[in-house]
Amino acid sequence: MGVLGYVVLWFLHNYTDIRYKGAVLAFVCVLFLIIWEVFIVDNVQWHRIRGAQLILAMKMISLAIDLDQGTVVEFPNPLQYLGYCYFVGSVIFGPWLRYKDYCQVENPVDMNVSWIWEVLKRCVKSVICLNMSVCIIPIMSTFGATHKWFLAYQDAMSFRFSHYFISFMSEASCITAGVGFTQSENDVTWDLSVAKPMNIEMPRSLVEVVTSWNLPMHTFLKNYIFKTARTLGTFPAIILTYAASAILHGLNFQLAAVLLSLGFYSYVEYVLRKRLSEIFSACVLAKKCNPDCTHRHKETSIIVFVANLLFGFLAVFHLAYLGVMFDSNSQAQEEGYNMGHTLGKWSQLDYASHYVVLCSFIFYKLI
């Protein structure tokens, strides 16, 4: 796919006047992924390489859009392009990197004690998260807690920690390869961040969860999808952004259902909390207010604190519901979770989360 992408991009750049090369290349990538998944590779093999294909497609699309917008001025030669697409620091675990961030490898900094420490620190965090996901969290139910919602939370938490394992490992691989730093006059800070576990495990809102789950992918979707589609309106732009994410992840009902549900959930939460903040002049927005905001009731108010805490608990409830189908069934994990598995898991929880969001949306419309 990488070679095909370069041929298409080179042709569009040299022999056409098409302004939207990113859109054309995005169509080519999606078509290639669909054909590859449906007609060529079996489910088990595709499930193993889907993540790497996703990262590759994101790199190709972002490079094409950056060329459209003039962010990348010089068209990369084949070695530069292939080096970016198959960069050893992100080709397996990710994360997605912009082309200009990848170009840091052309101007390497000294690999000093600080660099070694940052790599080791992320490796240790990764191993801890792996042990939490595989060894510690699965035995929680042996202590007598067998309620269906506790088991749902347990399965979802185990999945989340497996994601943190991959996130920290991807940070370590990128930093090891020399990418992911901010350089000032006299200092180099290795500040690459892929996920923020604390913002997910103890969230203020679902909006914060979505942002903190995968920071590079959030940046990609926000800059290259959401901002382009925002002319259609906020809600259509949000749904199109999550739909694009679902398509890039492959033809998987489970992921599409979760991502589209998250899109609707986060929109409802955002508009409801915005309306409540306007009515009560309180800092209850989905995102934390600036200290100099105009709200009369600040974050330090007990009522505001309790309201934000309740919204946080509601976000945890939704996370348990949405993550319940990512269980430890080895066969389902290898082949990918199907529609029956997803709907079966949600039906065991009586579709409670969807009903809560629907009621929240109705309440928002009434006020």
Active site residue 47: no
Separation between Cα atoms, residue 319 and residue 221, nearest integer Å? 21
* Long-range residue pairs from 310-314, CB within 8 A, at least 24 positions apart, any chain: 311/204, 311/205, 311/269, 311/273, 311/284, 312/202, 312/203, 312/204, 312/205, 314/356
With vertex at residue 63, the alpha carbon angle to CA 61 and CA 65, rounded to the nearest 5 degrees, is: 70
Other CB atoms within 10 A of residue 13 CB: 14
The token pair at 301 is 């108010």
**What is the phi/psi pair of residue 93, to 5°?**
-90, -10
HEC per residue, 218-273 = HHHHHHHHHHHHHHHCHHHHHHHHHHHHHHHCCCCHHHHHHHHHHHHHHHHHHHHH
CB 233 within 8 A of CB 212: no
- Which candidate in 47, 147, 163, 249 is catalytic? 249
Residue 112's CB: how many other CB atoms inside 10 A? Answer: 9
Contacts of 225 (CB under 8 A, 6+ apart): 240, 241, 244, 245
Helix (H, G, I), strand (E, B) or coil at 78: helix
d(CA 3, CA 85): 10
Angstrom distance (rounded) from CA 197 to CA 206: 13
State how far the Cα of 157 lies from the Cα of 326, in Å rounded to an integer.
10
Start-to-end CA span in the chain (Å) = 50
Give the active site residues: 249
